[in-house]
């Protein structure tokens, strides 16, 4: 028995990458009748906030490997959910805590995953795994109690996120109303997080709409502003959505604010292109420089795609990643629209970039808001 089980019996399991790399561990979370779970493997460097990460819809289609060794140590609670359920395909950890210690905890991480049908593997050498993904990029994987040959076949049959519309699997099917602030905001749900809705709800009455909502239907709601949320998958696979965002921007009278996938879609609507990063940005400690002031912000990030710098037209780069130079923010010079690649709403943090929601409010003010959307 592995020392990482701390006396809890777990079945031996394997993690197998599509390139043939194999990692030993033990199964936890939901049982799969065939002993196989699959997805695209990515690593996240957060030290805390594992529940927020696991319930972030942006991880649809992916298996999350945590670089921090101890996961589950403070349990879970409903307040920290970013969505009603996890959309990730699995969880990889080094040392799973079976006895969480926190006054906020209402249960263990394992029971949470079991309840939502998500499988995991613990006892994995996540340091070696992270180095492998860093050197070879995010790759499809399979893990579970099945034979190594079956897991390898499953991993090689698993498609990456490239070219896939995963937004349609996480967006709301109907309109939702949130918040009661004085402004009126329409929020496109591409996989929107609860933390975003809390920030927007403090300033506005928020109408959350499905990702497929036409621009004309949004304009008919007479919003003071439009918000483009985070979400999973390849922005290049969302041509129809991009077309509707382009129509909103060309309308010219409604301020637009995008985060993460919303940033990529806004950039595409403005004429830019996107590309896939080797292993993405996933973590809570990425340094970003705000070009207007030179100030460095520590940011939370979760994305596999980025905006190509040589494709920008009538846009101004407002933020840059200091690790690799990736564009982290932009502003249209022709329309009231701006966006950031990272997560200013991040829970549990950092909160260095929360000012961006105030900038959105100020932009709405400058274009005639508020219209009295709240009570």
Query: What pLDDT, on a 0 to 100 scale, did the predictor assign at position 349?
Result: 87
Query: What pLDDT, on a 0 to 100 scale, did the predictor assign at position 372?
Result: 52
User: Dihedral, CA atoms, 62, 65, 66, 69, nearest 10 degrees?
Assistant: 160
Query: What pLDDT, on a 0 to 100 scale, did the predictor assign at position 369?
Result: 75
**Residues labelled as active-site residues:** 260, 343, 345
Give the H/E segment covering residue 66.
strand 62-66
pLDDT by residue (tens digit) across 220-269?
Answer: 999 999 999 999 999 999 999 999 999 999 988 899 999 999 999 999 99
Query: What pLDDT, on a 0 to 100 scale, did the predictor assign at position 2?
Result: 43
pLDDT by residue (tens digit) across 38-97?
Answer: 999 999 999 999 999 999 999 999 999 999 999 999 999 999 999 999 999 999 999 999
Q: Which residues pair with 142 in a beta bridge?
A: 16, 38
How far is Cα 367 from Cα 125, in angstroms, rounded to an integer? Answer: 53
Fold match between 3-156 and 167-366? no
Q: If you average pLDDT over residues 263-277, what whole number do you get?
A: 97
Query: What pLDDT, on a 0 to 100 scale, did the predictor assign at position 200?
Result: 97
Query: What pLDDT, on a 0 to 100 scale, did the predictor assign at position 4?
Result: 44
Work out the mean pLDDT of the chain and round it to a whole number: 94
Peptide bond into 350 cis (omega under 30): yes
How much is the CA Rg of the chain, to the nearest whole Å?
21
Give me 364's structure tokens: 């709405």
User: What are the backbone dihedrals phi and psi of residue 364, each rounded to the nearest 5 degrees, phi first?
Assistant: -65, -40
The owner of tokens 């975003």 is 196
User: What are the backbone dihedrals phi and psi of residue 21, each rounded to the nearest 5 degrees, phi first?
Assistant: -65, 140
Query: What pLDDT, on a 0 to 100 scale, did the predictor assign at position 371?
Result: 74
Judge whether residue 292 has pLDDT over 90: yes
Identify how many contiguous H helices and E strands the chain contains and give both numbers: 9, 19
Peptide bond into 370 cis (omega under 30): yes
pLDDT band at 6 (very low <50, low <70, confident <90, very high): low
Name the nearest CA neighbour of 172 among 204, 212, 205.
212
Lowest mean pLDDT among 3-17, 23-37, 322-336, 339-353: 3-17
CA 128 to chain centre: 24
The model scores a pTM over 0.85 = yes
Domain 3-156 has CATH 3.55.40.20: no
Which sequence spans correspond to the domains of the chain?
3-156, 167-366
Alpha carbon distances (Å) from 202 to 54, 167, 273, 361: 25, 26, 33, 11
Query: What pLDDT, on a 0 to 100 scale, did the predictor assign at position 374?
Result: 42
Query: What pLDDT, on a 0 to 100 scale, did the predictor assign at position 370?
Result: 84
> How many Cβ atoms are within 10 Å of 310's Cβ, its own excluded?
6
DSSP 5: G
CA 243 to chain centre: 22
Domain 167-366 has CATH 3.30.930.10: no
For residues 318 and 292, is the Cβ–Cβ distance under 8 A?
yes
Give me 45's structure tokens: 């460097």
């Amino acid at each position: 028995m592995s020392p990482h089980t701390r006396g809890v019996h777990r079945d031996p399991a394997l993690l197998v990458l599509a390139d043939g790399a194999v990692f030993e561990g033990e199964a936890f979370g939901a049982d799969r009748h065939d002993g196989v779970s699959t997805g695209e493997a990515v690593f996240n460097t957060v030290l805390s906030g594992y529940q927020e990460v696991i319930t972030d819809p942006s991880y649809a289609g992916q298996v999350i490997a945590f670089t921090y060794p101890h996961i589950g140590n403070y349990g879970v609670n409903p307040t920290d959910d970013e969505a009603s359920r996890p959309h990730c395909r699995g969880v990889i950890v080094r040392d799973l805590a079976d006895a969480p210690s926190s006054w906020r905890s209402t249960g263990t991480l394992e029971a949470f995953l079991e309840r939502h049908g998500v499988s995991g593997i613990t006892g994995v050498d996540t340091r070696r795994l992270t180095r492998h993904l860093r050197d070879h990029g995010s790759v499809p994987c399979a893990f579970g109690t099945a034979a190594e040959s079956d897991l390898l076949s499953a991993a090689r049959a698993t498609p990456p996120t490239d070219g896939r519309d995963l937004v349609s699997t996480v967006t709301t099917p109907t309109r939702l109303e949130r918040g009661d602030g004085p402004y009126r905001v329409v929020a496109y749900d591409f996989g929107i997080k609860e933390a975003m809705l809390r920030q927007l709800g403090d300033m506005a009455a928020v109408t959350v709409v499905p990702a497929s909502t036409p621009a004309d239907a949004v304009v008919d709601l007479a919003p003071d502003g439009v918000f483009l949320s985070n979400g999973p998958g390849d922005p290049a696979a969302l041509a129809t959505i991009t077309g509707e965002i382009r129509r909103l921007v060309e309308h010219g009278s409604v301020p637009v604010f995008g985060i993460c996938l919303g940033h990529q879609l806004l950039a595409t609507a403005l004429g830019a292109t996107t590309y896939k990063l080797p292993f993405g940005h996933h973590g809570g400690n990425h340094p970003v420089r705000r070009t207007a002031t030179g100030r460095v912000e520590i940011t939370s990030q979760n994305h596999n795609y980025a905006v190509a710098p040589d494709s920008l037209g009538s846009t101004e780069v407002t933020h840059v990643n200091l690790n690799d130079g990736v564009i982290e923010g932009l502003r249209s010079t022709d329309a009231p629209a701006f966006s950031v690649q990272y997560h200013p709403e991040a829970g549990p943090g950092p909160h260095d970039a929360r000012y961006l929601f105030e900038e959105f409010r100020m932009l709405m003010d400058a274009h005639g808001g508020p219209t009295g959307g709240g009570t």
